[in-house]
Amino acid sequence: MNAIELNIFNSRLEAICDEMGVTLKRSAFSPNIKDRLDFSCAIFDGKGKLCAQAAHVPVHLGSMAYAMEGVIERQEWAEGDMLVMNDPFLGGTHLPDVTVIAPVFIGGELTAFVANRAHHANIGASTPGSMPVSSTLEEEGVLIKPQLLIKAGVNNKQVWNQLAFNTGQGEDDFLGDFQAQVSANQGGVKRLSLLIRELGADTFLSHVVELNSYARRLSRSALSALPDGRYVFEDIMDSDGFGQSEIAICLSMTISEGSISLDFSNTSPQVRGNINCPLSVTAAAAYYVFRCLMPEQMPACAGAFDSIALIAPKGSLVNAEFPAAVAAGNVETSTRLVDVIIGALAKASPEGLPAASQGTMNNIAMGASNSGGKWDYYETIAGGGGASKGRCGLSVVQTHMTNTLNTPIESLEMHYPLLVTQYSVRRESGGLGLWRGGDGVTKRYRFKEPATVTLLTERRVSGPWGNNGGGTAAVGVNLYNEKPVGGKVSFKIVPGDTVEINTPGGGGWGDIHSI
């Protein structure tokens, strides 16, 4: 198989993932999925190894790539099956991210899988929006162990009804987003089956082997450009939301002839609050950073990550054990893990790595049950990107582990009883330097009806660091009725109340005094 044929094969796989994503976007009911695009789609081989993925959400895709093999092995599969799960300790991320998996049978043989993962704003948590300030997994919503949502092409009504009941949703609302996930997979199965039949199953599988071999060579070549050695970096989380601070993520990174070992042995133990990470999320952060160092033509398949090894003690912040609370680990700690890995790499290649980006997703969840019905909403808010050599950081962007979009104000105000009264660039919030860090954003909500609001945010204590002498960016600030509130807090809203989120900027790059 020559290079052109291999590239065409890879592009055809990626196109199937893209088409799955379009189906999910256009058939979903909730703004969180259809507007923010908080979902991801991927293809796996018959053993659960990643073959291809769309350019969706890194924390979804990396965690699926890391853990899908273990999920696949737990199930006896039949043609027409569709499995649903959200267990963070079986390869999930946090409970709102629900994964739906479908097998692809060719000539009666299990040949591949398609899967998608989407964030549901209501998964039955203790507070609306299903992102509570929690101390146990139980508070975070319904735990869905791997089970068949569809069995041999027939809806498993018991599972559908049980999930709808446990999340407290009306059947129509519940079915909408889940059926969108099912439809995306059905389209993926159809398209992938056509491709495999066109090529022949044996040829398809040999092409997958070649694709992984090519990715492995590219990965080794890219990582071999990094100088061998041991590089150490540490960063501190603001808090766990229950009074514990000084929570350290400590990394000792060893680079040796194109192989990478990431040792988190000195990281703090898991905490009471929900900033704990399942190991799959930690892996996703690592995969994301090193994928960014690889050539643009790198296939997004399992072979790309074979040179990366993780060491993370069980029971630590980055390899938490059941029943640890993990809702914010997926969004906040994963983002800080990226900072830590980039910080270590910057010691190996001082001029090749950027400064820290905003280091948080600025999560806001809200909702209520009232005379007009039940509503839940969740979003992340953009901030500043870190500057790099020769380039200022981008302003008002989602950074690193999220790849979601802004929900249009028109959609937000149409669906929910609130107004957005300010949405602007937070000027001068980026760090100074030869190249400035990007600026964050100011977003203010005014509520028209009673509601509950939950904030899960980081970088409210220490700002994103600069690189190569660049300045630290401004920390984020949360305001409730114009008074500061903590980074992780939940409170009741009455009509007329306002909530304002000022997000951090990105760190600067290069000492401005060296000009």
Pairwise CA distance, residues 474 & 40, whole Å: 31
Task: Name the average pLDDT for the chain.
Answer: 93
Pairwise CA distance, residues 392 & 386, whole Å: 8
Q: Are 458 and 335 in contact (CB under 8 A)?
A: yes
Tell me which residue of 466, 444, 441 sits closest to 384, measured CA to CA: 441
How sure is the predictor about 238, in pLDDT bands with cuts at 50, 70 and 90? Answer: very high
Percent of the chain past pLDDT 90, that is, above it, reads 79
Q: Which two tokens stand for residue 63?
A: 């965690």
Q: What is the pLDDT of residue 10?
A: 93
| Residue 288 pLDDT greater than 80, yes or no | yes
- Answer whether 0.75 is exceeded by the pTM: yes
DSSP-derived 3-state class of residue 266? coil
| Residue 515 pLDDT greater than 70, yes or no | no
Point out the least confidently predicted range of 28-32, 341-345, 433-437: 28-32
For residue 424, give every residue at least 6 positions away whose Cβ sits within 8 Å of its Cβ, in sequence order, or none: 441, 442
What interhelical angle do 3-27 and 201-224 show, nearest 10? 100
Sheet with 477-480, edge to edge strand ranges: 418-426, 440-447, 498-502, 477-480, 483-485
How sure is the predictor about 59, in pLDDT bands with cuts at 50, 70 and 90? Answer: confident
Q: Taking residues 64-75, what's their average pLDDT?
A: 84
Burial (CB count within 10 angstroms: exposed 0-12, middle 13-18, buried 19+), residue 139: middle
The angle subtended at Cα 77 by Cα 71 and Cα 79, nearest 5°, is 135
pLDDT in tens, 130-153: 999 999 999 999 999 999 999 999
Question: What is the 8-class DSSP label of residue 123?
Answer: S
Q: Taking residues 248-273, what's their average pLDDT?
A: 97
The angle subtended at Cα 431 by Cα 514 and Cα 248, nearest 5°, is 110
pLDDT in tens, 394-422: 999 999 998 888 889 999 999 999 999 99
